[in-house]
Amino acid sequence: MADFELQRIALPTGVELNVAIAGDPANPPIILLHGFPESHRTWRHQIPVLARDYYVIAPDQRGFGGSSRPEGVANYTPDKPVEDLLALADHLGIGPFTLVGHDWGGAIAWMAALQNPQRITRLIIVNAPHPLVFQRSLFDDPAQREASQYITAFRNLDFEKFIDRIGLETFFDTSFAKHADAALLAPEKPAYLAEWGQPGAMTAMLNWYRASAILVPGPEETPARPVWLDAPFPPITQPTLVIWAMQDSALLPSQLDGLEALVPDLTLVRIASAGHFVPWQKPELVTEAILEWLA
């Protein structure tokens, strides 16, 4: 695997990001955003391949990996990582770029693309639900509502005490690992535990869930339906590739229902043989889908 450079970059948003950078800055830029509970290493297989033809930037988002972990839930509302993203692009002298996001990185990518169509020219989403589709599903799809109850658990301000009680390794084995391939995770486990074990790291990662405005009703609840769920929603105007691993047990295939109405220029690639962490579970398939679509 080709090497990439790790830089620590201070941004005017008040954080310092740990950023993996590879490829020739003269090539078209592509920024990769990871999700929970990972870092730039989500893209460890894609970075060296993409770097042959693209200028590749993969930050640890705020609160993750080697990046700053500002205190307080308010520092993790989705607008903050969007600001980090644009500030990072400015720092590196990048104009328009292709944006890729997985999991929480995909949530930030959807939002950033909606708000900045002149800056983000192409969008690639990997197992990250469109915000409207996701919120609708939490009201209308009992299976997705059930699958998302972990969000409520993560929002509990005492959740870190639970992790301290059982230990990081047990938390790894009983939560994260069950959504991934155990054989692939085994050699990577020490790196995850090292990142998670940094002071304040787990709270910072969980604060992404606490700061989100997404409503997660309990399985038997019948809360009032938000008006905006049935109101017009702005479309994604960029050409968009959505890669979806169909064995994802946290974000179900129902997240693809109705997506074409919200993303008029949509290409959808389904990967039948993988779960949520498909960028490194089936890296060749993900990389191939990205390269073919970009070409």
Q: Which residues are catalytic?
A: 103, 209, 276
Per-residue b or e along 194-217, where b marks 16 or more CB atoms closer than 10 Å to that residue's CB: ebbeeeebbbbbbbbbbbbeeebe
In the block, tokens 């890729």 appear at 100
Is residue 268 classed exposed, middle or buried when 0-12, 13-18 and 19+ CB atoms within 10 A define those classes?
middle
> Could you tell me whether strands 5-10 and 16-22 are parallel, antiparallel, or unpaired per DSSP bridges?
antiparallel
CA dist 32 and 26 (Å) reads 18
- Is 87:13 a contact under the CB 8 Å cutoff? yes
Alpha carbon 233 to chain centroid, angstroms: 22
Strand order in 97-102's β-sheet? 5-10, 16-22, 55-59, 29-33, 97-102, 120-126, 240-245, 266-271
